[in-house]
Structure 1
Amino acid sequence: MDTATTANRTVAPQEQQVRRPFFSEKAKTVAGSLAFLVFFLVAWQWGPGWIGMPEFILPNLTAVIKEAGVMWTSGNLLQHFGITALEVVFGFLLGALLGIGCGVVLGLSPRTEAMLSPYILALQIAPKVAFAPLFVMWLGYTVYPKIIVAVLIVFFPIMINVLSAVRTVDPDMINLVRTLNASRFQIFRLVEFRSAMPALFSGLRIASTLSVIGVTVGELVGGNKGLGYMLVEGEGQGNTAAVFVAICALTIIGIVAYGAVVWAERRVLHYIPKATTTTV
């Protein structure tokens, strides 16, 4: 009997080791993502030629890479990239701070929300493209109109997320903290703001991509620097490859901004179980 039990104990780990998959789920996900990227690049490289698409309409990958090299050496691509990236960062940060502040104030004061919500909603409904020429007329061809457009676009989703999260805080938690003689600021810091953090980062994820859109709109309407300006310049010259280079550069900025928010979320919300956090 002891011999059989010992044999079973020695065989069980071996069976578990054999049943263990060769590739983990994360490795399969990465491999599938890379396979899709390779397929996309291959289709971009040879697809236009297969369907007989002229290069001035849809340039292949090689033509776009060559144009990127030309723009890097002679077209100040890095300078325009840096200007747009800085505008995105400042527009995102200012819009996030404004959205967090307004969301907290409106969430804690229903009367203030009732008074100001119609005007905030009207500002959100108004097309931001229509404001961009006004900002250019008021502030000139500087970075400020682009940053303001980005702030307007970033502000609303963050404000709504924070407001909703503050409103839905568990009242039992607030009453519990009050029984411990906590001040109003301590209640906000320990309960209300902490409860709003997951919703805040969800809004920040959305806002990180919208900030790129806002800056690009501002540069398209009235810019003499930045990737949006390079888009307009490439369109005016009929240089489709340059337009694709600017689009790819804007995409890179958006991906980096989104990745930075995800990294900060994982650092700040490390105490929340993964099952309740949002996925990438």
Structure 2
Amino acid sequence: MILKLKMALGSLLLFVLFLIVWQWGPTALGIPEFVLPRLSSTFGEALRMFDTESLMMHAGVTALEVIAGFVLGSALGVTIGVLLGLSPATETVLSPYILALQIAPKVAFAPLFVMWMGYTVYPKIVVAILIVFFPVMINVLGAVRTVDPDMVNLVRAMCGSRWQVFRLVEFPSAMQALFAGLRIASTLAVIGVTVGELVGGDKGLGYLLVYGEGQGNTAMVFVSIVALTLIGVLAYAVVVWLEKRVLHYLPRASMRTV
């Protein structure tokens, strides 16, 4: 308990030091405001954006896109990962196409999705799905492949059906790897949505970021980046919380988060 308190205090002190450097560092180094705005200037710009730029509305749009992209991409990754893990023949057929889709730069797809779907939320969600899908799929695929064969044979010896083998052995064994992939996916979903908004958006934090850059308003860009970071941190924290609730039976040593 004391060690955890010391670690939390150290993290808090480091954060306070970061804020102090951000506030007085640019002035001490002679960096102009349009290059690196001070903390107070950025905070003042955030208050202005609340009143005049509908900051909360744009943040809400981005958050909903992140949630949709994360949920749909994760569900697709789990489905394909289980399918490939249980059927080597299916993996042989589909893996080259999945790999090609992963290698292709997602930024290049964003303008195409905007042309197809217009300036709506759908292109951003689709980009997020593409980015989220692969890490979840790979983790689930690897976990399904490495299931303890003795446990599988035990269920089969007890006249268990194929569905029971999957439900009682294979899927529970893949849960830890699944959550490892979901942690990565929760942050990648923010990146995917931001890319979509940067390419073609009229709402969202990515749009505000581009708008601030066009206006030469560095503080607005910083506010947008901070807001995007907070959404990513919150998404990651939710996944970690769910992991602890679902995998509470695992030893604490294997539950440590980065």
Q: Residues 265 and 186 (structure 1 numbering): CA distance in 2 closer, same or farther, change over 3 Å?
A: same
With the length of structure 1 as denominator, give the TM-score of the two structures.
0.91
- Say whether the 8 Å CA contact 2:119–2:200 is kept in structure 1: yes
Pairing 1:23-38 to 2, within 5 Å after superposition: 24-38=2-16
Which letter maps to 2:57? Answer: Q
> 5+ residue gaps in structure 2?
none
The equivalent of 1:74 in structure 2 is: 52
Match of 1:70, as an amino acid? R
Q: Cα distance, 1:277 vs. partner?
A: 2.5
Please point out which of 180, 191, 208 is paired with 1:213.
191
Is the counterpart of residue 157 in structure 1 residue 135 in structure 2?
A: yes
1:119 aligns with 2:89: no
In structure 2, the partner of 1:20 is none
Distance 1:42 1:190 in 2: 53
Please tell me whether the aligned partners of residues 85 and 91 of structure 2 are also in contact (alpha carbons under 8 angstroms). yes
CA contact (8 A) 1:67 1:242 kept: yes
Give runs of aligned pairs for residues 239-258 of structure 1, distance below 5 A.
239-258=217-236
How many residues are aligned here?
258
| Cα RMSD (Å) | 0.7
The separation in 1 between residues aligned to 2:45 and 2:255, in whole angstroms, is 41
Measure how far apart 1:177 and its partner are: 1.1
Give the % identical residues: 69
Q: CA deviation at 1:278?
A: 3.9
Take 1:177 and 1:72, find their aligned partners in 2: how far apart are those partners?
A: 58
Structure 2 distance, partners of 1:275, 1:233, is: 46
Question: Does residue 1:99 correspond to 2:84, yes or no?
Answer: no
Q: Which residue of 2 aligns with 1:233?
A: 211
Please tell me whether the aligned partners of residues 45 and 62 of structure 1 are also in contact (alpha carbons under 8 angstroms): yes
Q: Shift in Å at residue 116 of structure 1?
A: 0.6
Following TM superposition, by how much is the alpha carbon of 1:279 offset from its aligned partner in structure 2, in angstroms? 1.9
Deviation at 1:181, TM superposition (A): 1.1
Q: Give the CA deviation at 1:178.
A: 1.0
Identify the residue that residue 129 of structure 1 maps to in structure 2: 107
Which aligned runs of 4 or more in structure 1 are off by greater than 6 angstroms?
none
**Which residue of structure 2 aligns with residue 88 of structure 1?**
66
Alpha-carbon distance in structure 1 between the residues aligned to 2:257 and 2:132: 21
Q: Which structure 1 residue ranges, 5 or more long, are not aligned?
A: 1-22
Q: Distance in 2 between matches of 1:76 and 1:162?
A: 40
- Give CA-to-partner distance per residue, 1:61-91, whole Å, 9 cap, x none: 0000000000001110000000000000000
TM-score by length of 2: 0.99
The structure-2 alpha-carbon separation of the partners of 1:278 and 1:196, relative to structure 1 and needing over 3 Å to count, comes to farther
Match of 1:148 among 106, 109, 126: 126
Code of the residue aligned with 1:30 in structure 2: it is A
Query: Is contact 1:165-1:199 (8 Å) kept?
Result: yes
> Which protein shows a greater Rg?
1
Alpha carbons 2:240, 2:257 under 8 Å: kept: no
* Aligned AA (1:55): E
Aligned-pair distance for 1:275? 1.4
From 238, 243, 250, the equivalent of 1:265 is 243
Is the Cα–Cα contact under 8 Å of residues 87 and 146 in structure 1 kept in the other structure?
yes
Aligned mates of 1:137, 1:75 — CA distance in 2: 26
Aligned-partner SS, 2:216: coil
> Does the 8 Å CA contact 1:198/1:277 hold for their aligned counterparts?
no
Which one of 151, 158, 168 corresponds to residue 173 of structure 1? 151
